[in-house]
Structure 1
Amino acid sequence: MSTALHILILLVAIAPVLSCVYLGVLTLLSARLPTPRPSNQDMVFDVLIPAHNESQVIVRTLSNLQKLDWPASNYRILVIADNCSDDTAELSRQAGAHVLERQDATRRGKGYALEHAFAYSAQGPATAVVVVDADTEVTPNLLQACAARIEQGALAVQVNYGVLNPNDSWRTRLITIAYGAFHAVRSRARERMGVSCGLRGNGACYTHALLRQHPFNIYSLTEDLEYGVLLGLNGIRVHYADEACADAEIIDSERGARTQRSRWEGGRLAVARAYAGRLLGHAWRQRSATSFELALDLLTLPLGNIVLQIVLLALVAGGAALIVPALAAWLWLPLILLLILAAHVWRGWQLAPVGWRALADLAYVPFFILWKMYAKLRTRGNKGWVRTDRK
């Protein structure tokens, strides 16, 4: 009986132990990174804004992008008004942007819009393109950060992805902490390890040399994540620029937040199913640390799911200890795992633009986990570009 219970506990412990060890290592490696500077400001960029019915926010975003610390003659702002039925295109023109209008009832989605924009940009003088979502504000050093990495040989760059409205509610504060952990902590560590930090889409920079070699023809819900994985399989890592930020608006309404969460996590799960095995196989055959780490990233569940795994482990270990008291030593394991997760969340809080009040909001975590599980159950398989309800 004792042996069987040991085996049961081990089986339940495998997933949360691997996840927590991985997150613990990333936490330890998340110190500030060096900040390179470009040698000059001669590099030419196109800043691309894919927009589907974004008239509520597009003018604010364009106003922000016109303040970049880069010569105005060396960057162009392109809005891709994709299948819009509002006045996004007209407002963008009035705000001084170059507008590409696209209407295609069958080829719908952000991936198609980006493919169209990349092809258009390739006809001009730009060395690289930077993608910024329509609800986003960026730091003035966006192009400086990208140019510095490209000068060092990078073909793809991802800047820090943050939250524009962190203090709107307890939900946005918790999401901001999660962003700090998922984007800043992980990306700093991955850059320090010399592997790919992955692509988040918003604040992503691609050189045209890369796009010619590896065309962007991804049309899934998480086209950015998938493209980053494909780059890794081809031996190309995404470099991380920690000093620049792209801060997107997080929807505070329950309905809108659920839509965002469903798309993100549903799309991520689909990519994990499609590519985790391929990445592990490539890592083994090519001895590729980049592919191995990308697989670990995909296989690591969201923090809420890991907490549920640890709770299950504690219940199994506790039940086993009631039957065989000598097994009570196993109860230390879930406690240690929770401490590792707590350190990871704490580090995420340190790197997030929220104050001490956000720590008190951690009391909402059980409700947040339940809300996320509900959002997953409501995930739809629609691959079209469905605009998030901002109300």
Structure 2
Amino acid sequence: MIWTLLLIVPALLLALPGLALLLQVLGARRLARAAAAAPAQPTTWADGPAVDGTVAVLIPAHDEAAGIERTLRQVRAQLRPGDRLLVVADNCSDDTAAIARAAGAEVTERVDRERRGKGWALDHGRNVLRDEARQAPDRAPAWLVILDADCTLQPGCLPRLVRRCAQLGLPVQARYLLHAPDERLKSRVSAFAVRLKNRVRPLGMQALGLPCGLYGSGMALPFALAAQAPLASGHIAEDMQLGLHLAQQGLAPQFCDEAVVDSVLAANAEGAGTQRTRWEHGHLSLLLREGPGMLWRAATAGRWRALGMIADLLIPPLVLTLALQLAGLAALGLLTLAGAPAWIAGLAAVGVAGWVIAVLLARQWFAADLLGWRDLAYAPLYIAGKLPLYLRFLSGRRSGWIRTRRD
């Protein structure tokens, strides 16, 4: 009896991620269908409810001379007169600062070879805006939007994003998608994984009445909140860390599917490897180092919606979750042969089935343009190819920031 009770806990832990993913996919489908049937959201500031106060767009940029002009042109086209566009040229060795100034942006340059990374650049830019606001209150922005230097804004992105932020008075995350740079199967599978993580899952959380995380670009915050937020971080998953911190303060981010920000995955092998390693190792680092404490503090403070969001973000990455589920199922299967109740292994098997069904439904409803059914036959090879990345986390995890090579 005691052994049975002890085995229920790991069986539940193995089952819950797959079932949670399935619930998110079903919820996302419901909201996506409702949105498709509803009238289109306004794409300009004049077509919707007015937003009081100016907007400041903050863009951290490290050696982004090749593409930042296009991004700045798109941002300026969606700003109102009086809104601000600030670029932080962070430890640049190219013409990023000069190009940004020529494109009409305000520019602040930062040089600090020790404290490198996006979090430090955001902190520097936020401090510039905050210090100016203290000296000249009429220049204080009401809303802060954070964008990457290589992103593309879809029509109406900024008005929709800032309106949602103003309506809720909370941080808001846009739909931030990374597209495949080519037609290779590995690229398309990576783009599918990002779509599942950055759109389907947060949309499913919204359907459940729960907040979402922050994904690095397309983030809007009330400036009064941003002025106090802990942005100075060298963590390689600084966006996820910030979202979790805000959730613990009762200010969990909300999702805005109507505001769309796009970018492209790294095309070369080195850049793609750096990108995946940064995301996965950063996620696992937060999960192991800060996850249990965050869950405990949210539970003891009675912040149940934040608790759901923290629990979701602390589920291991998709492929690692499946690998752990399969390993756990195999172990429970062996214990069943040794006399343990078969229903315990069956509980873990339900989690695996939930994961598989959720992925198949997500492909059908949200990614049919990326993957055909025959492509899924190569999924085991993709999964096997990612396992060394997790083994490297155990032997020597990536902790310092390294820019993704995109050329």
Pairwise same-fold verdict (TM > 0.5): yes
Q: What residue in structure 1 maps to residue 362 of structure 2?
A: 348
> Which residue number in structure 2 is paired with residue 82 of structure 1?
90
Query: Structure 1 counterpart of 2:128, which letter?
Result: Y
- 1:219 equivalent to 2:234? Answer yes
Q: Is the alpha carbon distance of 1:308 and 1:184 closer, same or farther for their aligned partners in structure 2, counting shifts above 3 Å? A: same
User: How far 1:127 moved relative to its partner?
Assistant: 1.4
Matched, 1:13 2:28: no
**TM-score w.r.t. length of structure 1:** 0.87
Indicate if the aligned counterparts of 2:17 and 2:351 stay in contact, CA closer than 8 A.
no
Structure 2: distance between partners of 1:11 and 1:383: 32
Name the % identity. Answer: 31
Rate the CA distance shift 1:350–1:148 in 2: closer, same or farther, 3 A.
farther
Alignment-derived partner of residue 155 in structure 2: 140
SS for the counterpart of 1:248 is strand
Q: Which amino acid aligns with 1:32?
A: L
**Equivalent of 1:250 in 265, 284, 289:** 265
Partner residue in 2 for 1:48: 58
- 1:93 maps to 101
Task: Tell me, in whole angstroms, the C-alpha distance in 1 between the residues paired with 2:287 and 2:338.
Answer: 38
CA displacement at 1:160 relative to structure 2? 0.9
Counterpart of 1:209 in structure 2 is 224
SS in 1 for 2:220: strand
Q: Output aligned runs, 1:1-391, within 5 Å.
A: 10=8, 13-30=11-28, 31-32=30-31, 38-40=48-50, 43-68=53-78, 70-71=79-80, 73-122=81-130, 123=132, 124-165=139-180, 167-320=182-335, 332-333=346-347, 335-350=349-364, 352=366, 355=369, 357-378=371-392, 383-391=399-407
**How far does residue 366 in structure 1 lie from its aligned partner after superposition?**
2.0
- 1:386 is paired with a residue whose SS is coil
Q: In 2, are the aligned partners of 1:179 and 1:352 still within 8 Å (CA)?
A: no
8 Å Cα contact 1:82-1:102 kept in structure 2: yes
CA contact (8 A) 1:218 1:226 kept: no
* Deviations, residues 107-147 of structure 1 (Å, cap 9, x unaligned): 22111110111122333342112111122112122212222
SS of corresponding position for 1:32: helix
What is the rounded CA distance, in whole Å, between the counterparts of 1:387 and 1:356 in structure 2? 27
* Contact in 2 for aligned 1:154/1:238 (Cα 8 Å): no
Seen in structure 2, the aligned counterparts of structure 1 residues 238 and 8 have a Cα distance that, compared at 3 Å, is closer
Q: 1:67–1:140: 8 Å Cα contact kept in structure 2? A: no
Gaps of 5+ in 1: none
Taking the aligned partners of 2:324 and 2:399, their CA distance within structure 1 comes to: 30
TM-score normalised per structure 2: 0.84
Is the Cα–Cα contact under 8 Å of residues 50 and 80 in structure 1 kept in the other structure? yes
Distance apart, 1:234 and its partner CA:
0.9
Superposed CA deviations along residues 210-249 of structure 1, whole A, max 9, x for unmatched, are 1234453333111111111111111112111011112222
Residue pair 2:91, 2:111 contacting (<8 A) in 1 also: yes
Instruction: Supply the distance in 2 between the matched residues of 1:316 and 1:215 (Cα, whole angstroms).
Output: 42
Task: Measure how far apart 1:157 and its partner are.
Answer: 0.8
In the superposition, relative to structure 1, how do residues 214 and 81 fare at CA in structure 2: closer, same or farther (>3 Å)?
closer
Q: 1:346 to 1:234 in 2, by over 3 A?
A: same
On the 8 A contact 2:189/2:371 being kept in 1, the answer is no
Q: Deviations over 1:231-283 (max 9, x none)?
A: 11111121110111122221133322111111111111222223222222223
Taking the aligned partners of 1:46 and 1:153, their CA distance within structure 2 comes to 18
| 1:20 maps to amino acid | G
Q: Return closer, same or farther for 1:291/1:168 CA change in 2, 3 Å cut-off.
A: same
Per-residue CA distance 1:149-206 (angstroms, 9 max, x = gap):
2332323110011113365421221122212221212211222333321111211111
> Closer, same or farther in 2 for the Cα pair 1:187/1:105, shift >3 Å?
same
Distance 1:99 1:350, change over 3 A: farther
